[in-house]
Amino acid sequence: MMATHKRLRAALLFVFGIVLGSALTLLFAKNPALLTGKPSLDGTLAGAVPEREKTVTLKAPVGFQRLLEAYQVIESNYYDPEAADASKLIDGAIRGMVDALGDPYTSYMDPEELKEFQTSLSSSFEGIGTEVTMQNNRLTVVSPFKDSPAEKAGIRPNDQIITVDGQSIEGLSLHEAVKKIRGPKGSKVELGILRNGLSEPITITVIRDKIPLESVYSSRFQKDGHTIGRLQITSFSENTDERFKAALKNLQAEGIEGLIIDVRGNPGGYLGAVDHILNTILPNGKIMYQIEYRDGHREVAKSNGQGLGIPVVVLIDEGSASASEILAAGLKDAGFPIVGTKSFGKGTVQVPKDLSSGGTLKLTTAKWLAPDGSWIHKVGVTPTVEVQEPAYFHLPPLAVEKPLGRDTNDKTIALMQQMLKALGFDPKRTDGYFDATTEQALRAFQSKEGLLTTGKLDDQTAQALNNSLVQKIKNPDNDRQLEKALQTVLKALQK
């Protein structure tokens, strides 16, 4: 079992969607064995091939004659020879096979796209800082990165991006859509977004920036005479487990009596990273997760750690996906409290496989299962203590094209009223009608912010409202989920 467990940690990747700017694609390049031939479970090229991992042969199955015939007809007769270039047609055929699987997590990168990703494998990248996937043929946000331009601009998990700079991206592949959103630091991109709960699309402007790939943040809280630590994990990158252990050691040296592991908004990453973290937390012999292959064979990963000996609580939300869900499911099964809202629901394993003729397939090869054998795919991990954040946490950013004043009746005014109410300047209504009470509340806000007290909603006031709301959301005192996690740790300490 131990040898199998080590092989699992070494070989399997959990890569969720495509990161704008290639943040998690560094997972592809660190171990060349994962990029060449058939990877074995110990990270080296395989010798004997298990039945569940069949070798690739070049014998064409029945029906491939149709594909060859179609290629020859197009290549010989299509009116535009450049469009009928052999390489383009072959890449298109591969993409067609991948699309036919109906799996948003399996994708193909041609040599040029692969080179693009490999050149950005560093400790930072330039972009908007969010991870996306395709859901129901729409580019869907898994989660923006912590403190990224996307997060600051108001992009939220499960937002669906439908336009880029005013142009529809319907029908584009994941890679094609991502290319349109990428760009250099300082440039801006306008994203048209569909959001649950809103009847019409909204437009969010994001200024691209350099995104550092720090993945672990630590903090301490003093609560009722107790010291409680928090470790926020924003992604499971190659060194996340080492950073986690170092940060944990520092918190332990500072005398923490309990720990909160916060994976809200964490889209996933390396299985090896979350494996090592679970080994740190779970006592010896506890099942951490299972891997199920196409033939039904399962491999069970068990902890060989000693446990922490202090109360541990996990924070999750709808932006917690893949490796984050492995962490939450593993700790939930072991009896640790899980606080927040139901997670994203991604329970498959992807492994990159190079094609000898060029290009790379990121292929779903297995399922991962919770310790009890359940599959959370498209279901998510349900918290043991469900806590919703205040409604204003989910408000879209406010934007105005021209000043709006008294007697305006508009959805923008309704959003402004909700923001004013959340910030303590209650306009007494949120129906979108700009009356005298709304004007009075807006003037009070403008005065507090040192703005001209015009009583009108202009661009400067809109930005001030956005910034004030972001600061309120970031204040730990307003974080209901965090507060519940702290109370849960205290309750455990009092037992």
Residue numbers annotated as active site: 322, 346, 350
**Alpha-carbon distance 23 to 15, whole Å?**
11
Q: What token pair was written down for 57?
A: 């042969």
Residue listed under structure tokens 């060029």: 358
Q: Is 267 within 8 Å of 339 (Cβ atoms)?
A: no
Which one-letter amino acid corresponds to residue 270?
A: Y
Sign of CA dihedral 456, 462, 467, 470: positive
DSSP character at residue 306: B
* Closest listed residue to residue 206, CA positions, set 193, 179, 187: 187
Which alpha helices (DSSP H) does 120-219 contain, by range? 149-153, 174-181
Q: Give the Å distances, CA to CA, from 241 to 9, 120, 216, 231.
A: 12, 22, 9, 12
Coil, helix or strand at residue 319: coil
Q: Is 193 within 8 Å of 204 (Cβ atoms)?
A: yes
Which alpha helices (DSSP H) does 78-206 contain, by range? 86-100, 111-119, 149-153, 174-181
DSSP character at residue 217: E
* Radius of gyration from C-alpha coordinates of the chain: 25
Backbone φ and ψ of 57, nearest 5°: -110, 160
* Closest listed residue to residue 190, CA positions, set 156, 170, 162, 210: 162
**Alpha-carbon distance 320 to 318, whole Å?**
6
Sign of CA dihedral 271, 275, 277, 281: positive
Cβ-based neighbour number of residue 32 at 10 Å:
10
Give the Cα-Cα-Cα angle 461, 394, 425 (nearest 5 degrees): 40
Residue listed under structure tokens 């080994």: 279
Residue listed under structure tokens 């068990």: 302
DSSP character at residue 391: G
**Alpha-carbon distance 445 to 453, whole Å?**
8
Q: Is 248 within 8 Å of 231 (Cβ atoms)?
A: yes
* Closest listed residue to residue 413, CA positions, set 392, 446, 435: 435
